[in-house]
Structure 1
Amino acid sequence: MSWQTTVETTVTGLGYELVDCERSASGGTLRVTIDKLEAQADAGELINVDDCEKVTRQLQYVLEVEGLEYSRLEVSSPGLDRPLKKAAHYARFAGQEIDITLKLPFQGRKKYRGVVSAQPQAENDQAWRLVLDDGEHEQALDFTLDEVREARLVPVISFKGRGGEPAPDRKPGQRGVIKPKKAAAKKHAGEPTQAAPGQDKVDGGLKQ
């Protein structure tokens, strides 16, 4: 198996969601971001140090068995500004406010903030809409996932978890004026809370 498949199979097999997995350019550092499953997160459960240690230990074992080399393994929580990497992430957080950075500028800018929702009558799950509100009127920016360089949740403090009620000033994803064109197309560093064998890094739930 490839390292991506190995990591995803291991993380999901332990009952967690794999948010992101990346390997450094040199191939030495493997960074894995995990989260609770949607139902658990909606109930207010957050990733903690024990979760990260559990995944780290299992990945160390599986990667060794599969003969996949790395020099450093970092397992962490997604943080409040959780990255959105695939269609399932957008669907999970539809109706919430996100920041996106486009690969290419649209109307002179790449960065936009708004409430995300699926495009009405979209034929696939790659088409999404961002409702923008400048305080005077709303507009809608339609885009596809391959036009996005980066997307993250806008941090919201909620005692009910990320699936709780939105902030009082947050508006639902209302439809606005549709642009005639489509958009062209950090990770929280955190402080390591505990080091696992082999200098692997484990980040816990303090960032959340």
Structure 2
Amino acid sequence: MSTTQSERLRELLEPLVSSQGLDLEEIAVDSVGRKRVLRVVVDSDTGADLDQIADVSRALSAKLDESDLMGQGEYDLEVGTPGAERELTEHRHYVRAVDRLVKFKLTEAAGAGELVARILEVDDEGIDTEVPGVKGRKATARRLAFADVAKARVQVEFNRKNKNEETEENAEEA
């Protein structure tokens, strides 16, 4: 049986979030002054739009009103998505980050240090990445086992060309 409030909230809310076609990524209860804030983070393989967030927020609010898990005091419910620079902690997070630039913190066994690379493919054992070339050098491929990754976080890219632009540029150069 669950013992913490977060675990009990997860048991209550996860089936409802799943029924909306979303994954329950995170639950946090924080105190802000005299108020409490329940933050719920949801996502899916295709992302979550504002309508889905609003629908799941209403459903969660109704479910919480039926239960006594948040107690009698006031609280605010905030439902959102993980954000642009999300930390990758589950296999599904890596799959969703394919074609994204990620900063990896490597374990001691993998040589420690940090590596910034683009995720190309994910399977059950690890991640195929492309390490960008530096100073005119070509990009290199690198395979990372999940056991080699201590931490991974998606990086925001402001100047990245989409694949159509890259294809057009390559055609012009030929």
Match of 1:4 in 2: 10
Match of 2:133 in 1: 134
Q: 1 or 2 for the larger relative contact order (CA 8 Å, sep ≥6)? A: 1
Matches within 5 A, 1:93-172: 93-94=97-98, 96-102=99-105, 104=107, 107=111, 109-118=113-122, 125=124, 127-135=126-134, 136-137=137-138, 138-144=140-146, 147-152=149-154, 154-155=156-157, 166=163, 168-169=165-166
For residue 23 of structure 1, the aligned residue among 18, 23, 28 is: 28
Change (3 A) 1:22 1:112: farther
Q: 1:134 aligns to what SS in structure 2?
A: coil
Match of 2:89 in 1: 85
Opposite residue 100 of structure 2, the aligned amino acid is E
Change (3 A) 1:128 1:47: same
Aligned equivalents of 2:141 and 2:13: distance in 1? 40
Aligned equivalents of 1:131 and 1:54: distance in 2? 38
Aligned equivalents of 2:31 and 2:104: distance in 1? 26
Aligned equivalents of 2:147 and 2:60: distance in 1? 29
The structure in which a higher percent of residues are helix is: 2
Change (3 A) 1:37 1:118: closer
CA RMSD of aligned residues (A): 3.7
User: Where do 5+ consecutive residues of structure 2 fail to align?
Assistant: 1-6, 168-174
Identity of aligned residues (%): 18
Aligned equivalents of 2:17 and 2:155: distance in 1? 22
TM-score normalized by the length of structure 2: 0.61
Deviation at 1:132, TM superposition (A): 0.9
TM-score normalized by the length of structure 1: 0.53
User: Where do 5+ consecutive residues of structure 1 fail to align?
Assistant: 120-124, 158-164, 171-208
Count, aligned residues: 149
